[in-house]
Structure 1
Amino acid sequence: MAKIIPFKAVRPAEDKVSLVTCRNYDDYSQAELAAWLNFNPYSFLHVINPAYVHSHTTSWDKRFKGVALKYQDFKREGVFVTEEKPNFYIYEIKSKTNSFTGILAGTSVDDYQNNHIKKHEDTLQYRVELFKDYLHQTRFNTEPVLITYPDSVELNTWISLKKKSKPLYSFSTTNKETHTLWKIDTESDIDWLVQHFENIPNLYIADGHHRSSSAELLRQQDQHLNNPNLDYFLSFLIAESNVKIYEFNRVIRDLNDFSKDQFLEKLGENFNIELKEQELWKPSKKGKFGMYLDGKFYALTFKDSDFLDKNASVLNQLDAQILYDTVLQPILNIGNLRNDERIDYISGKQPITEIKSAVDGGEFAVGFMLYPSDINEIKSIADADLIMPPKSTYIEPKFRSGLVVYEL
């Protein structure tokens, strides 16, 4: 069973919400960041990156304390308001091409530890420790873990009904998205939602493995505080069918001292190679890969179809793992996918021309395009207690910082 709880949120004042909320900090270039901070005094970027001009010379401890102080300033100045009691929230993100709707709730650290909230990605301990220290110093989180639940007609119908009521917020952003938030605050609705999730045996992390692991570590460190909020972490719960999964494509800086012809010959041991010339070709199913090399596109088809059908574990059948096992490691000598400086990643949300430009510009020698994984592959990996290769998936939706705050 999955345990979720309502929480006493801190959120922007209604007249300021479109000014306060922002994209993830890492999504901004330095020029964009400077512009937003200079002209918008209400941007949440002021909280998460205080005194940004000097941030590169400031210790993490001082930066985190600065975040905590600026957050309290925003509360004191009325930029943020605090709910009177715990609630759930329904949140909808609409763009020109996609629409996502989910539930904001607290999810259980115990469920995470007991593997009722399942994982498919590994974590880097230094990142887990760093975000744990951030939470410890700031005492708040506004970056929910994206968690999927099985599709439910009953829950979909309930959400659709609640979305007919007046929302707390409905606002547009400069990246042409519309964001709408509804409060679920009646006792009957809260009880119904809690009971519905109690009948779900397992939830699956789609995005936010480091955040959930940090929440576990924070509770362990701060258990002496007897703070019940530490027993849960902020999550955005969304139906499996409503997530959008993109691939992460790979670009490699050199051919490991192979000539182009030698490299193609090596590839031919495991792949059928078809020259596509200038066609912007990308794979349309598993077991096929696109490649851009020396100004030309290629279609690569994995030869061992029996391997894909029955002989391999769910992990070894992943296209990202096949590419690593047959090309990146044995031919190009790419070691650790997390920290080898010879490899970089471009999300499948970006056009293929980004890969072409990266190679044509001379920084990279070859690019590979993959077919995206689906939710069933991710769940199978998690159910088998296996870990996907780093940068296997880029998953949407992405949450807007500063929209809802979970205090610790």
Structure 2
Amino acid sequence: MTSARPTGADQAVSESLVAPFSGWVVHPDWAERVISRAYDNLSPLQRQALVASNPYSYMNVTRSREDLFDNTDLSHEELVTQGAAALTRLLNAKAFVPTGRPAFYLYRLTHKQGMQTGVVCTVPVQGFDDGRIRIHENVHDERADLLTTHLQGVGATSSPVAMAVRSTAELYNQLFDITAAAPADLEFGSTAVRHQVWTVPDDYTESLAAAFDNQVLYVTDGHHRSAAAVRASAAEPNNPVLARTLAVVFPDDQLHVQAFHRLAVDQHARSPEDCLAALDDVTKVTPAFSSMQARPQERGMAGLYLGGSWHQVELPPAAGNGAVNGLDVERLRRSILNPVLGADELGLPGAVEYLPASLGFDELARRCDTENRVGFALHPMTVRELMAVADESGLMPPKSSFFSPKPRSGVFLRVLGRGATSHLSPS
């Protein structure tokens, strides 16, 4: 997914950056049962409970091995077969309603930090190669392969890749005019996060698409889904349906970034005391009385949970120039995870697990105690820092940023006309 990235007039743009699609939308009567929280917003135990208790949750369509109480040795193909059966169950129940025409949708999330309004659309997979869509994270091949098999076998997608665009007055005006003119077509959520969806009127479609001309999109959430779209399209280069993928694009200054904490396995199997001594040899480690005291208040600092105790850690200086090298996630990877713990998160499956900051420090400590891991709590980066990495064609470790709140799965359905949707027209 990395390549030379031309911009502006240097791009040979053969298709629209954002385009409407003839999607399906969840029926309001089914919204509460079908719509599911973002995959990485939930712990494995929470996902297991959701899948077991609600056969109509869209999580049943997209689940992975760790979301099942048993049969965790299922192959990708077996998981996809189960996902296709779950989607068939939803379609038979008429939980989704076809819109019948190509359209854009506006998706607004209102929360305590503010409000963000995105355009739900399709974007060209070619954009990942020609520089119109830029990424900033590496991916784990196994996860990307599962999602690729999912696209090919299940036959639909309902989890849009979240992207950012640099804010412009024109784009703001378009979004404001449309959303202020009419009540929402669909509303759901809680007092913490309110979700609203509007179908963009036909009269606005052309001008809204034009507002994205000569813009660059930045993937903020969904690097593995992006990789899957690229791989599926490469496997079937003449398939026009796989040439585009589902996305939701937000103005960058409306987004909020949280950290993804790291839970690493010390590959040398040392005692907590010996592991702490090894860490102290490469950087300054200071005991903390609580998770609150260990919480990093600025860049260059991290909280450390090891052997039941909290500490503060100074991250060693950046190794080299470039936007990615100065980020805390990369400084941690290069100076501590790899050389001290032997936990190569890019090449050793399971060596590092990830926990969104929204799940809290207590969950980090619980996971570390249960799984004999070393926890690192990181300070969040900014959206513009991510954009700078992407503009330089840099790649951070997987799960380096966590955007919250997130769009939900099970709101929109883009039909691919295969697998469980082979009897339906592609959208």
Could you say whether these structures have the same fold, taking a TM-score greater than 0.5 normalized by the shorter chain as the test?
Answer: yes
* Aligned equivalent of 2:119, options 84, 93, 103: 103
Q: Secondary structure of 2:101's match?
A: coil
Query: How far does residue 98 in structure 1 lie from its aligned partner after superposition?
Result: 5.4
Q: Secondary structure of 1:5's match?
A: coil
Q: Is the 8 A contact 2:32 2:188 kept in 1?
A: yes
* Aligned equivalent of 1:333, options 325, 342, 351: 342
Alignment of 1:406 with 2:414, yes or no, is yes
Q: In the superposition, relative to structure 1, how do residues 178 and 158 fare at CA in structure 2: closer, same or farther (>3 Å)?
A: same
Q: In the superposition, relative to structure 1, how do residues 113 and 303 fare at CA in structure 2: closer, same or farther (>3 Å)?
A: closer
Q: In the superposition, relative to structure 1, how do residues 272 and 4 fare at CA in structure 2: closer, same or farther (>3 Å)?
A: same
* Aligned equivalent of 1:297, options 310, 317, 320: 310
* Aligned equivalent of 2:246, options 224, 227, 234: 234
Alignment partner, residue 12 of structure 2: none
Separation in structure 2 between the aligned mates of residue 7 and residue 194 of structure 1, nearest angstrom: 12
Q: Which amino acid aligns with 1:168?
A: D
Task: List aligned pairs for 1:360-379, cutoff 5 A.
Answer: 361=369, 363-364=371-372, 366-379=374-387
Larger Rg: 1
Separation in structure 2 between the aligned mates of residue 106 and residue 12 of structure 1, nearest angstrom: 18
* Aligned equivalent of 1:198, options 177, 189, 213: 213
Moved more, 102-111 or 258-267: 258-267
Q: In the superposition, relative to structure 1, how do residues 282 and 121 fare at CA in structure 2: closer, same or farther (>3 Å)?
A: same
Q: Which amino acid aligns with 2:324?
A: L
Q: Is the 8 A contact 2:304 2:310 kept in 1?
A: yes
Alignment partner, residue 128 of structure 1: 144
Task: List aligned pairs for 1:120-269, cutoff 5 A.
Answer: 120-164=136-180, 165-172=182-189, 177-187=193-203, 189-200=204-215, 202-225=216-239, 228-254=240-266, 256=268, 263-269=275-281
Query: How far does residue 223 in structure 1 lie from its aligned partner after superposition?
Result: 4.1
Q: Which amino acid aligns with 2:395?
A: I
* Aligned equivalent of 1:276, options 263, 288, 310: 288
Alignment partner, residue 92 of structure 1: 108
Alignment partner, residue 3 of structure 1: 17
Q: In the superposition, relative to structure 1, how do residues 366 and 218 fare at CA in structure 2: closer, same or farther (>3 Å)?
A: closer
Q: Secondary structure of 2:126's match?
A: helix
Separation in structure 1 between the aligned mates of residue 213 and residue 194 of structure 2, nearest angstrom: 31
Size of the aligned set, in residue pairs, is: 393
Separation in structure 2 between the aligned mates of residue 398 and residue 86 of structure 1, nearest angstrom: 24
Query: How far does residue 236 in structure 1 lie from its aligned partner after superposition?
Result: 0.8
Alignment of 1:118 with 2:134, yes or no, is yes
Alignment partner, residue 285 of structure 1: 298
Moved more, 145-154 or 325-334: 325-334
Separation in structure 2 between the aligned mates of residue 32 and residue 13 of structure 1, nearest angstrom: 20
Query: How far does residue 231 in structure 1 lie from its aligned partner after superposition?
Result: 2.4
TM value normalised by structure 1: 0.84
Q: Is the 8 A contact 1:255 1:263 kept in 2?
A: no
Q: Which amino acid aligns with 2:246?
A: L
Query: How far does residue 233 in structure 1 lie from its aligned partner after superposition?
Result: 0.8
Alignment partner, residue 323 of structure 2: 314
Separation in structure 1 between the aligned mates of residue 360 and residue 111 of structure 2, nearest angstrom: 18
Q: In the superposition, relative to structure 1, how do residues 12 and 286 fare at CA in structure 2: closer, same or farther (>3 Å)?
A: same
Separation in structure 1 between the aligned mates of residue 370 and residue 81 of structure 2, nearest angstrom: 42
Q: Is the 8 A contact 1:120 1:387 kept in 2?
A: yes
Separation in structure 1 between the aligned mates of residue 307 and residue 61 of structure 2, nearest angstrom: 46
Alignment of 1:350 with 2:362, yes or no, is no
Alignment partner, residue 26 of structure 2: 12
Q: In the superposition, relative to structure 1, how do residues 115 and 259 fare at CA in structure 2: closer, same or farther (>3 Å)?
A: same
Task: List aligned pairs for 1:5-44, cutoff 5 A.
Answer: 5-24=19-38, 27=42, 28-37=46-55, 42-44=56-58
Deviations 1:326-347 (A, max 9, x none): 2222222223446354543322
Query: How far does residue 388 in structure 1 lie from its aligned partner after superposition?
Result: 0.3
Using the aligned pairs only, state the percent identity: 24
Separation in structure 2 between the aligned mates of residue 72 and residue 137 of structure 1, nearest angstrom: 12
Separation in structure 1 between the aligned mates of residue 26 and residue 227 of structure 2, nearest angstrom: 27
Q: Which amino acid aligns with 1:327?
A: I
Q: Is the 8 A contact 1:13 1:80 kept in 2?
A: yes
The gaps in structure 2 that reach 5 residues or longer are: 1-7, 9-15, 417-427
Q: Which amino acid aligns with 2:212?
A: F
Q: In the superposition, relative to structure 1, how do residues 114 and 176 fare at CA in structure 2: closer, same or farther (>3 Å)?
A: same
Q: Is the 8 A contact 2:237 2:243 kept in 1?
A: no
Q: Secondary structure of 2:286's match?
A: strand
Separation in structure 2 between the aligned mates of residue 33 and residue 155 of structure 1, nearest angstrom: 38
* Aligned equivalent of 1:81, options 75, 90, 97: 97
Q: Is the 8 A contact 2:48 2:69 kept in 1?
A: no
Q: Secondary structure of 1:373's match?
A: coil
Query: How far does residue 384 in structure 1 lie from its aligned partner after superposition?
Result: 1.6
Q: In the superposition, relative to structure 1, how do residues 299 and 63 fare at CA in structure 2: closer, same or farther (>3 Å)?
A: closer
Deviations 1:132-176 (A, max 9, x none): 332223322111111110012332232122222121111235x95
The gaps in structure 1 that reach 5 residues or longer are: none
Separation in structure 1 between the aligned mates of residue 196 and residue 273 of structure 2, nearest angstrom: 54
Q: Secondary structure of 1:101's match?
A: strand
Query: How far does residue 392 in structure 1 lie from its aligned partner after superposition?
Result: 1.7
Q: Is the 8 A contact 2:267 2:343 kept in 1?
A: no
Q: In the superposition, relative to structure 1, how do residues 390 and 272 fare at CA in structure 2: closer, same or farther (>3 Å)?
A: same
Separation in structure 2 between the aligned mates of residue 62 and residue 295 of structure 1, nearest angstrom: 39
Query: How far does residue 15 in structure 1 lie from its aligned partner after superposition?
Result: 3.0
Query: How far does residue 80 in structure 1 lie from its aligned partner after superposition?
Result: 1.9
